[in-house]
Chains A and B, each alone.
Chain A
Amino acid sequence: MFQSKKRIYIILVLAACIFLGLYYSLRNKDKTEERFRELSKKQRIYEKRDLGDLPENYDQFSFSEFSDEQIAKILQEKYGKNIDNPRVQFALLEELMKELPKLYPDRWVEKLNEILQLAFPEKAMELFRLSEKMYSYNVFREKNMIRLGMMSEADRRKEVWKERYRLFGEKADEIWAIEKKMQNVSDALQRIQESPPGNIDAKLSSFKSTLKENFGKELPQVLAKRQQTLTEGFVQSVQKDLKIMSFAERKSTLRDIREAMGMDQAALNRWDALEDEREQKWKNLETYRNLRSKLLGGKTTLSPEKEKELEGLRTKLFGEEAEIIRNEEASGYYRTLEERTFGIN
Chain B
Amino acid sequence: MKQIQRLALLLLGTLLFASSLQAGARKTVYPVVFAHGLSGFDNLLGYFYFGDDSGVFVGDPCDEFLEVSCNGSIHSGQKALAASVQPFQSSEVRGTQLADRIQNYITTTGATKVNIIGHSQGGLDARKAAAVLRARYGRQVVHALISVSSPHRGSPVAKYILDLNPGVVSVINALATIFGNTIYGSGNDGYAAAKQLVYNDYSSTDGVTTGMKAFNTNYNVNSSNAAYYGSLITAQEGINVNPALYLVKQAFYNIDGDGYCIDDCDNDGAAGKGDGNKTNNDDDGLVGINSQQMGDRLQYNENLFSLDSISVNSSLGYVSNLNAPSSAQMTSKASVISQDHLDVVGIPPDTFDENEFYAAILDFIVSKGG
Q: Known contacts A145-B242, A345-B97: does B104 contact A150 (CB below 8 Å)?
A: no
User: Please, how many angstroms separate the alpha-carbon atoms of A85 and B347 in the complex?
Assistant: 23
A-B contact pairs, 25 of them (CB 8 A): A54-B17, A61-B305, A63-B305, A74-B21, A78-B22, A85-B66, A94-B353, A138-B348, A139-B349, A145-B347, A146-B45, A146-B177, A146-B244, A156-B46, A182-B55, A186-B42, A229-B84, A232-B84, A232-B104, A320-B135, A320-B136, A321-B136, A328-B93, A332-B210, A333-B90
Q: Known contacts A59-B305, A178-B54: does B108 contact A267 (CB below 8 Å)?
A: yes
Instruction: With both chains docked as a complex, state the minimum distance between the C-beta of B111 and any C-beta of chain A, in angstroms.
Output: 11
Whether the pair A267, B110 counts as a contact (CB closer than 8 A) is yes
Residue of B nearest to A139 (CB): B349
Chain B residues contacting A149 (CB-CB under 8 Å) are 45-46, 176-177, 179-181, 244
A306 within 8 A of B: no
B132 within 8 A of A: yes
User: Please, how many angstroms separate the alpha-carbon atoms of A122 and B215 in the complex?
Assistant: 59
Whether the pair B208, A331 counts as a contact (CB closer than 8 A) is yes
Instruction: With both chains docked as a complex, state the minimum distance between the C-beta of A232 and any C-beta of chain B, in angstroms.
Output: 7
Task: With A228-B108, A332-B206 given, name 7 new contacts (CB 8 A).
Answer: A77-B21, A151-B46, A226-B60, A228-B81, A228-B104, A229-B81, A345-B97
Whether the pair A270, B110 counts as a contact (CB closer than 8 A) is yes
User: Please, how many angstroms separate the alpha-carbon atoms of A333 and B352 in the complex?
Assistant: 37
B56 within 8 A of A: yes
One of A95-103, A124-132, A290-298 at the interface: A95-103
Chain B residues contacting A328 (CB-CB under 8 Å) are 92-93, 96
Whether the pair A160, B46 counts as a contact (CB closer than 8 A) is yes
Whether the pair B176, A150 counts as a contact (CB closer than 8 A) is yes
A141 within 8 A of B: yes
Most buried by B among A77, A91, A139, A145: A145
Instruction: With both chains docked as a complex, state the minimum distance between the C-beta of A140 and any C-beta of chain B, in angstroms.
Output: 10
Whether the pair A225, B214 counts as a contact (CB closer than 8 A) is no
Whether the pair A345, B136 counts as a contact (CB closer than 8 A) is no
- Which 8 pairs between the two chains have the least Cβ-Cβ distance? A179-B55, A59-B306, A332-B208, A149-B45, A320-B135, A138-B349, A149-B180, A178-B69
Chain B residues contacting A150 (CB-CB under 8 Å) are 176-177, 180-181
Whether the pair B90, A324 counts as a contact (CB closer than 8 A) is no
Chain B residues contacting A176 (CB-CB under 8 Å) are 54-55
Contact with B along A42-86 (1 / 0, CB 8 A): 000000000000100011011100000000001001100110010
User: Please, how many angstroms separate the alpha-carbon atoms of A277 and B77 in the complex?
Assistant: 31
Residue of A nearest to B136 (CB): A321
Contact with A along B72-105 (1 / 0, CB 8 A): 0000000001101000001011001100110111
Whether the pair A175, B46 counts as a contact (CB closer than 8 A) is no
Using CB atoms and an 8 Å cutoff, list the residues of chain B in contact with chain A. 17-18, 20-22, 42-43, 45-46, 48, 51, 53-56, 60-61, 63-64, 66, 68-69, 81-82, 84, 90, 92-93, 96-97, 100-101, 103-105, 107-110, 128, 131-132, 134-136, 138, 176-177, 179-181, 192, 206-210, 214-215, 218, 242-244, 247, 303-306, 347-349, 351-353
Whether the pair B82, A229 counts as a contact (CB closer than 8 A) is yes
Interface residues of A in 185-214 (CB under 8 A from B): 186
Residue of B nearest to A80 (CB): B18
Residue of B nearest to A227 (CB): B108
User: Please, how many angstroms separate the alpha-carbon atoms of A301 and B347 in the complex?
Assistant: 45
User: Please, how many angstroms separate the alpha-carbon atoms of A258 and B100 in the complex?
Assistant: 17
Chain A residues contacting B306 (CB-CB under 8 Å) are 59
User: Please, how many angstroms separate the alpha-carbon atoms of A332 and B89 in the complex?
Assistant: 12
Whether the pair B45, A300 counts as a contact (CB closer than 8 A) is no
Instruction: With both chains docked as a complex, state the minimum distance between the C-beta of B311 and any C-beta of chain A, in angstroms.
Output: 15
User: Please, how many angstroms separate the alpha-carbon atoms of A59 and B104 in the complex?
Assistant: 40
Instruction: With both chains docked as a complex, state the minimum distance between the C-beta of A163 and any C-beta of chain B, in angstroms.
Output: 12
| Partner pick for B109 among A102, A142, A153, A267, CB 8 A cutoff | A267
User: Please, how many angstroms separate the alpha-carbon atoms of A149 and B179 in the complex?
Assistant: 7
Chain A residues contacting B93 (CB-CB under 8 Å) are 328, 333
Instruction: With both chains docked as a complex, state the minimum distance between the C-beta of A317 and any C-beta of chain B, in angstroms.
Output: 13
Residue of A nearest to B179 (CB): A149
Contact with B along A241-268 (1 / 0, CB 8 A): 0000000000000000010000100110
Whether the pair A225, B304 counts as a contact (CB closer than 8 A) is no
A152 within 8 A of B: yes
Interface residues of A in 274-323 (CB under 8 A from B): 274, 300-301, 319-321, 323
Chain B residues contacting A138 (CB-CB under 8 Å) are 348-349
Chain A residues contacting B82 (CB-CB under 8 Å) are 229
User: Please, how many angstroms separate the alpha-carbon atoms of A58 and B23 in the complex?
Assistant: 14
Whether the pair A59, B303 counts as a contact (CB closer than 8 A) is yes
Residue of B nearest to A267 (CB): B108
Whether the pair B353, A145 counts as a contact (CB closer than 8 A) is no
User: Please, how many angstroms separate the alpha-carbon atoms of A12 and B43 in the complex?
Assistant: 51
A344 within 8 A of B: yes
Q: Known contacts A90-B54, A179-B54: does B69 contact A77 (CB below 8 Å)?
A: no
Instruction: With both chains docked as a complex, state the minimum distance between the C-beta of A203 and any C-beta of chain B, in angstroms.
Output: 20
Chain B residues contacting A61 (CB-CB under 8 Å) are 305
Chain B residues contacting A120 (CB-CB under 8 Å) are none
User: Please, how many angstroms separate the alpha-carbon atoms of A63 and B303 in the complex?
Assistant: 8
